[in-house]
């Protein structure tokens, strides 16, 4: 059944390969510097590597936007996004898979009565605006640098052609790796909380449930590259602005750098640890980056070669895609639940319990105004209650939702065995022993479990970069021992 539910994610991965992933080599193939088959093979290999090795960063942010907690819901969210991307691909528009999956998740949130995390949504939407601008800026700067180097160190046209072809392949491989790391969240991110798999060991190497999901999804991306990406490559490579091989190289490098900046957990944590600004770890669209890079080259060439009608057509697809995806997801979830009687979400209730009221009182919310043990069946009904209550400000909504949410966490022997296998490589022995001492304990609030974990784990690891590593470990423990109500 898990494989059946994952089929929509595979379809979405195939659609991404046909549309987004192809943009890594779109300019190279469009200028006939690299053969399509060569580009497809290299892109496929490095997309898989990037997804399996570095795909978790952007997935966390997508999960905060909306945690799809049932396989049926994850199936339909991925299918709605995949259908939206496939439809746009049929129209030869390089749309964003990131926008499609975000739209579908928001549609699921509305249907399931969940609140959309607007701070995470704002980060993602901001990245949609910022990423193509960054790609255009990088393309302009790299283009000027390359031109200056060629003036300082002139080489023959034949040798330049050889170097450009080799560079397109190398940079394309880097871009494919970054794409896999960044965009695998679009393909399999919704399945991470809903469909955990057991850790497996192959030739002595452990593969966690998330890595298995990412591998399956990245193989689907690779199949999309081989079977259906050529037409979109031609749209991006030739129709927005006429490109030279050197311009194509600059665009791929600019795109690859931006993808890497939005995907690298290591770079992100290093920048934060040194008090430097870091970009959010969110899935961004390779299609947008390519178009941004192409426009950047067009600007440096005077702007006259840019075909603004094509650019307008492409950007309209970016606006329409999330709306279409959200509508399709909402309607499809209704039929899946009410006609086929398939569970598409696990209900999440909220209650003013004693611990929640005590915690809220520490947030300057008058506890005497909170009705003890009053229960709400979903976040929307809680939000409606707050809106109708004069003494609770809307600004308190996020805190109230956070601390009143009812979850279920149980440290069973079976789940501890799973934890011990998956945590062996990155938890210390004392940390694993400490977690095992919780056997038999149960928690109904996520914030209380995190509070307990912060107390019992090593205090010396709560500074700078080590604090962020500890936070990731706590998140892993929370998701491992989460159970259905």
Q: Does an H or E element contain 99, and which?
A: helix 97-112
Contact 176, 40 (CB under 8 A): no
* DSSP assigned state of 263: T
Is 396 found in the same domain as 311? no
| pLDDT given at position 465 | 47
Is 134 found in the same domain as 70? yes
Per the structure, how many domains does the chain have? 3
Q: Which stretches in the chain have pLDDT values below 70? A: 21-22, 27, 92-94, 194-196, 232-242, 303-305, 390-395, 458-468, 484-485
Enclosing domain of residue 361 = 350-404
Rounded Cα distance between 188 and 97, Å, is 12
Q: Does an H or E element contain 200, and which?
A: strand 200-202
| Residue at 368 is within a domain | yes
Interval 179-210: pLDDT, tens = 899 889 888 888 877 665 777 777 777 777 78
Residue 269, classed as helix, strand or coil, is: helix
Is 397 found in the same domain as 250? no
Is 270 found in the same domain as 184? yes
Rounded Cα distance between 124 and 116, Å, is 13
| Residue at 152 is within a domain | yes
Angle subtended at Cα 69 by Cα 64 and Cα 71, rounded to the nearest 5 degrees: 130
| pLDDT given at position 321 | 86
Contact 329, 104 (CB under 8 A): yes
| Residue at 343 is within a domain | no
Is 427 found in the same domain as 328? no
Structure-token pair, residue 162: 């050889």
Domain finish residue from 310, 338, 366: 338
Structure-token pair, residue 16: 């991404």
| Residue at 344 is within a domain | no
Is 417 found in the same domain as 324? no
Residue 405, classed as helix, strand or coil, is: strand
Structure-token pair, residue 361: 């009182």
Q: Does an H or E element contain 410, and which?
A: strand 409-410
Contact 154, 29 (CB under 8 A): no
Is 229 found in the same domain as 118? yes
Is 246 found in the same domain as 140? yes
Is 355 found in the same domain as 314? no
| Residue at 169 is within a domain | yes
192 burial type by CB count under 10 A (0-12 exposed, 13-18 middle, 19+ buried): buried
| Residue at 179 is within a domain | yes
Domain finish residue from 308, 338, 368: 338
| pLDDT given at position 464 | 45
Is 416 found in the same domain as 312? no
Domain finish residue from 388, 404, 420: 404
| Residue at 107 is within a domain | yes
Contact 246, 164 (CB under 8 A): yes
| pLDDT given at position 440 | 94
Is 287 found in the same domain as 433? no
| Residue at 25 is within a domain | yes
Mean pLDDT for the chain overall: 84
Is 367 found in the same domain as 281? no
* pTM of the predicted structure, to 2 decimals: 0.82
């Amino acid at each position: 059944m898990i494989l059946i539910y994952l089929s929509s994610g595979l379809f979405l991965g195939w659609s991404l390969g046909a549309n987004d992933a192809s943009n890594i080599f779109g300019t190279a193939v469009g200028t006939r510097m690299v053969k399509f088959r060569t580009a497809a093979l290299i892109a496929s290999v490095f997309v898989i590597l990037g997804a399996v090795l570095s795909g978790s960063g952007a997935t966390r942010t997508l999960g905060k936007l909306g945690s799809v907690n049932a396989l049926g819901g994850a199936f339909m969210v991925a299918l709605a996004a995949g259908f939206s991307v496939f439809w746009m691909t049929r129209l030869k528009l390089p749309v964003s898979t990131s926008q499609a999956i975000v739209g579908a998740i928001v549609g699921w949130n509305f249907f399931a009565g969940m609140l959309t995390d607007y701070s995470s949504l704002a980060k993602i939407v901001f990245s949609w605006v910022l990423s193509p601008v960054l790609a255009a800026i990088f393309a302009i700067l790299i283009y000027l640098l390359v031109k200056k180097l060629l003036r300082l160190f002139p080489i023959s046209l034949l040798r330049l052609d050889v170097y450009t072809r080799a560079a397109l392949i190398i940079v394309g491989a880097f871009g494919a790796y970054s794409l896999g790391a960044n965009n695998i969240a679009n393909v399999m991110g919704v399945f991470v909380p809903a469909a955990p798999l057991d850790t497996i060991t192959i030739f002595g190497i452990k593969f966690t449930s998330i890595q298995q999901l990412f591998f399956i999804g990245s193989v689907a991306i690779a199949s999309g590259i081989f079977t259906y990406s050529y037409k979109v490559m031609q749209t991006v490579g030739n129709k927005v602005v006429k490109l030279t091989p050197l311009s194509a190289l600059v665009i791929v490098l600019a795109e690859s750098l931006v993808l890497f900046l939005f995907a690298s957990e290591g770079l992100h944590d290093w920048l934060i640890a040194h008090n430097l600004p870091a970009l959010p770890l969110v899935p961004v669209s390779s299609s947008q980056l390519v178009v941004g890079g192409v426009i950047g080259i067009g600007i440096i060439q005077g702007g006259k070669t840019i075909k603004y009608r094509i650019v307008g057509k492409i950007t309209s697809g970016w606006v329409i895609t999330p709306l279409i995806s959200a509508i399709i997801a909402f309607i499809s979830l209704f039929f899946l639940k009410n006609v086929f009687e398939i569970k598409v979400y696990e209900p999440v209730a909220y209650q003013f319990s004693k611990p929640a009221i005590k915690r809220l009182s520490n947030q300057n919310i008058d506890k005497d105004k909170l009705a003890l043990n009053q229960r709400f069946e979903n976040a929307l009904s809680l939000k409606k209650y707050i809106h109708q209550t004069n003494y609770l400000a809307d600004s308190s909504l996020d805190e109230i939702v956070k601390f009143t949410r009812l979850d279920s966490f149980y440290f069973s022997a079976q789940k501890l065995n799973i934890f011990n296998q998956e945590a062996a490589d990155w938890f210390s022995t004392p940390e694993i022993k400490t977690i095992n001492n919780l056997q038999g304990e149960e928690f109904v609030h996520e914030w209380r479990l995190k509070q307990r974990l912060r107390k019992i784990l090593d205090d010396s690891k709560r500074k700078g970069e080590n604090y962020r590593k500890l936070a990731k470990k706590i998140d892993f423990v929370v998701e491992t021992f989460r159970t259905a109500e």
